[in-house]
Amino acid sequence: MKKIGIIGAMELEVEELKANMQVTQIIKKAGMEFFEGTLNATPVVIVRCGIGKVNAALCVQILADAFQVTHIINTGVAGSLNAGLDIGDILISKDALHHDMDVSPLGYAPGVVPQMDCSVFPADERLCRLAKDSCEKVNPDIHVLMGRVVSGDQFIAGKEIKDKLIHLFQGDCAEMEGASIAHGSYLNQIPFVIIRAISDKADDSATMDYPSFEKAAAKHCAKLLMDMVEKI
Ligand code: ADE
């Protein structure tokens, strides 16, 4: 039977989903509260993992081991690295990588995780298609794009680092958890997708735009997810 793990880094990214679910139990592990129950009659576990890649990775492993989830969806906000992605638009992950993994002094290309067979983690094609279809249905005025999520333990807010993420990694959006969720899902062989609404442009205006737009952006994703889960 399917059971979908839904991860947001911050409360505002999961609060609407939690408000709409039927909760059967709440289990605490590693400082995180896992809300188990149903969303639109679909078995789910919804959790706020906290910010950054370590929190995200731990959360995936708990969802795999303690809840045996069959699919993982990461919802939240991100900074845009693509001129075609404006504030309020939605990005659905084609794949994800760690932009702060750098073993280049030993000859590895930036972003490559040494001794792993994969460093660019591909999202599940079916989940991507379902996310795109639901987005077009429930948010018809919102521009949606498939692209690459690049993640690091760093809020991106400047032209120099933004240009680096574009040119070195061909990133479409930057955030702080997606690649860890992708990496953990890959290792546990769980299909995943990352769905991110754009809250800022990861440049000099990011620290101004982010607080103004994060709430509205997170709501777009929640609406999409509520439609999507029952189709998985
Ligand atoms: N989440 C939302 N905007 C972001 C940015 N500019 N950098 C990293 N994470 C983000």
What are the boundaries of each domain within the chain? 4-231
Hey, which of 13, 85, 175, 181 would you mutate to test ligand 1's pocket, going by the most ligand atoms within 8 Å of its Cβ? 175
Query: Which residues does 107 contact at the CB level (< 8 Å), separation at least 6?
Result: none
C-beta of residue 62 within 8 angstroms of C-beta of residue 192: no
Residue-wise pLDDT for 158-216, tens only, equals 999 999 999 999 999 999 999 999 999 999 999 999 999 999 999 999 998 888 888 88
CATH number of 4-231: 3.40.50.1580
- Rounded Cα distance between 55 and 176, Å, is 10
Cα 135–87–219 angle (5° rounding)? Answer: 50
* Three-class secondary structure of residue 203 per DSSP: coil
Element at 144 (helix H, strand E) = strand 144-151
Query: Does residue 217 have a pLDDT over 90?
Result: no
What mean pLDDT is predicted for residues 4-24?
95
What is the residue-averaged pLDDT of the chain?
96
Closest CA to 135 of 75, 182, 187: 75
Number of C-beta neighbours around residue 189 at 10 A: 7
Output the pLDDT for position 215: 85
| pLDDT for res 147 | 98
Q: Tokens 């991100």 map to which residue?
A: 78
Ligand 1 lined by 232 (C-beta under 6 Å)? no
- Per-residue pLDDT, 155: 97
Is residue 66's pLDDT more than 90? yes
Q: What is the pLDDT of residue 104?
A: 97
Buried b (16+ CB within 10 A) or exposed e, 28-48: ebeebebbbbebeebbbbbbb
Residue 213 Cβ < 6 Å to ligand 1: no
pLDDT (tens digit per residue) in 128-162? 999 999 999 998 999 999 999 999 999 999 999 99
pLDDT of residue 210: 82
The string of pLDDT tens digits covering residues 84-138 is 999 999 999 999 999 999 999 999 999 999 999 999 999 999 999 999 999 999 9
Are 45 and 69 a contacting pair, CB within 8 Å? yes
The two tokens of residue 167 are: 């040119």
Name the band, by pLDDT with cuts 50, 70 and 90, for residue 82: very high
Q: Which of 89, 172, 200, 203 is catalytic?
A: 200
Pick the closest to residue 92 from 202, 200, 192 (CA basis): 192
